[in-house]
A and B are shown apart, each in its own frame.
Chain A
Amino acid sequence: MIGNYEDPRKVFGKAVGDLAMDDDRIVLLSADSGKSSGFGDFMKAHPERYFEFGIAEQGVVGVAAGLATTGKIPVFCAIAPFVTARPYEMVRNDLGYMGQNAKIVGRNGGISYSDLGATHHSLDDFGLMRLIPGMTILCPQDPNEIRSAVKAMIEHEGPVYMRIGNPKIPNLFEEEEFVIGKGRKIREDDSVTLITTGVATKAAMEAADKLAEQGISVDLIGLPTVWPLDEEMILASAKKTGKVITAEEHYAYGGLGTMVGDLLAEKLPTPLKKLAIPNTYATSGPYDAVLSYYGLDAQGIAKSVADFVK
């Protein structure tokens, strides 16, 4: 099902703002990033719970930790690399090590700021965040999942990193309760397991349709929670198909593919192929063209899967 297209930032900002209207524990933090994060309505309604800090992401993460120690639930949203790589030590120590209930949201994530170049790409955020003990990583796959993931993120006690994109994306699934750590079985079949997250899921769904026409039946798993992995779902599928392929907007090292690989190596050694961005400073250009260049569009994924199962 391909439903209506929505701006992920607006969907996110409205979802957080709606919750914050009725929950005065929630405070929103901006590093000159609030309006672009969809916080505009909340800023006007509750200026006392909206804090602007200018372009100072390290400081904002520390402030988030301090707010959280007193029972607040701070939500800090800005461009993905600037809330992960830039203030990494603050996220690790002040949120992770201190165990604080703060929410970090990286927007324009992955390679969606495609034309702005490698400084604005976040192709290492899953890897960085996964190395922080106690961190949860969410990467919703459509607007409905963003809405439900926001609720789950706020209800979850502990630090959370959520990645969302930039251009409008279609609704793929009905809105339902988001359970952190649970994957979504999108297509039940038996010749190869394909695991995706975030906006790559749409391309993977289209790839699975193409592959079905070629007689390749894909067991398709979408993971709106990147970490912790839904081990049960992944292992059951791998056991059934004996072949696993991952597709994501991230480096091949350290991302979802690595996490799945770690799991399989330990619990069920299975051939694995990782579709991702190679370990390089990625090229710039129109988003779709860049994804296609790296084989992460539907056609590229379908070709890689077909080659893999040969």
Chain B
Amino acid sequence: MDKKQLTELKLQATRCRLNVLRMVRAGGHGHIGGAFSAMEIVTALYFYKMNVDPQNPRMPDRDRFILSAGHKCLAQYAALAEKGFFPKEVLDTYGSLGSHIPGHPDMHKLPGVEANTGALGHGLSIANGMALSLRLDGKPSKVYVVMGDGELAEGSNWEAAAAAAHHKINNLVAFVDFNGLQISGRVQDVMNMTPIADHFKAFGWDTVEIDGNDMAQVVDVLDRAPLSDKPLMVVAHTVKAKGLSFGENDVAFHFWNANEEQLAQAERELSELAASYEKELKGE
């Protein structure tokens, strides 16, 4: 990938972060920490890798995106809006009665959402079923999953991990957004699930570790998958609330009850970042 393409993706990720702020402004709060830590992964999937069509969201041959950690949905909503799955005005309904973008995603309310996640530890098994079916039908589609690191304590994930390896579901690529923080504190203090890659490797997966906030590394691993006949687990080392200058790596921003001063600061800083990418792309 050339530098220009990479800058374009970084610009998209920044625009998506601004979309998240738009939703937080509408609702006054939101799970921003995980949405921002996973933003490079979500952006690379929607704007670089996945075969999806906003005009035909149920296209049978599409790739699937399952947000197992459903509370990161602001990232998905931001990307779907930016991609044109629905009008951006919908972002302004976040937190309102009957909104199409509730606090966890609902496939019946929003085009582009593939599963109703939010209860943790469900996504990987759902993805297994999708991937098995797509393989059975001879379709080229891939299934991509984004999980949280705190989520790994849910035992159901390990049923799914065993099944994916046993059935050699290699049209499946899963990311763990390893930002290291969950509501009560550091993941390693709450319930240590490390070494994450070793666990999945022992179950029979291919594993890769990357800097999940480095767009080039995310793109590279997406281009390499699958590595073999095994499912691929990408342990993406990320920073919680990445891009929120005053909130990075601070568990207080797992769920943010935004105040105006900080929200305005974040909007200003990310707008400036987007402008700098735009300038770079124009060759200025």
The CA-CA distance from A67 to B167 in the complex, in Å, is 14
- Of all chain B residues, the one with the shortest Cβ separation from A74 is B129
In this assembly, does A94 line the interface, its C-beta being within 8 Å of a C-beta of chain B? yes
Residues in B with CB closer than 8 Å to A48 are 136
When the two chains form the complex, which single residue of B116, B133, B159, B163 contacts A97, counting CB atoms closer than 8 Å?
B116
Stretch at the interface among B107-115, B213-221, B245-253: B107-115
When the two chains form the complex, which single residue of B60, B107, B122, B134 contacts A90, counting CB atoms closer than 8 Å?
B122
When the two chains form the complex, which single residue of B116, B129, B156, B166 contacts A66, counting CB atoms closer than 8 Å?
B129
In this assembly, does A300 line the interface, its C-beta being within 8 Å of a C-beta of chain B? no
Most A Cβ at <10 Å: residue of B122, B125, B133, B160: B125
CB atoms of B163 and A69 under 8 A apart: no
The CA-CA distance from A175 to B116 in the complex, in Å, is 39
Residues in B with CB closer than 8 Å to A74 are 129
| Count, A-B residue pairs, CB within 8 A | 98
The CA-CA distance from A59 to B118 in the complex, in Å, is 16
**A residues whose Cβ falls under 8 Å from a Cβ of B:** 27, 48-49, 51, 53-54, 56, 58-72, 74, 89-90, 93-94, 97-99
The size class of the interface chain B forms with chain A is 20 to 34
CB atoms of A63 and B128 under 8 A apart: yes
| Consensus secondary structure, chain B interface | helix
The CA-CA distance from A67 to B132 in the complex, in Å, is 7
The CA-CA distance from A96 to B155 in the complex, in Å, is 21
When the two chains form the complex, which single residue of B106, B121, B129 contacts A63, counting CB atoms closer than 8 Å?
B129
The CA-CA distance from A89 to B116 in the complex, in Å, is 12
Evaluate whether A67 and B130 lie within 8 angstroms (CB atoms) in the complex, with A53-B163, A98-B115, A99-B108 already known.
yes
Residues in B with CB closer than 8 Å to A60 are 125
Residues in A with CB closer than 8 Å to B133 are 27, 66-67, 69-72
The CA-CA distance from A190 to B30 in the complex, in Å, is 61
In this assembly, does B131 line the interface, its C-beta being within 8 Å of a C-beta of chain A? yes
The CA-CA distance from A54 to B128 in the complex, in Å, is 14
Smallest beta-carbon distance A96→chain B, Å: 9
CB atoms of A59 and B125 under 8 A apart: yes
CB atoms of A93 and B119 under 8 A apart: yes
In this assembly, does B81 line the interface, its C-beta being within 8 Å of a C-beta of chain A? no
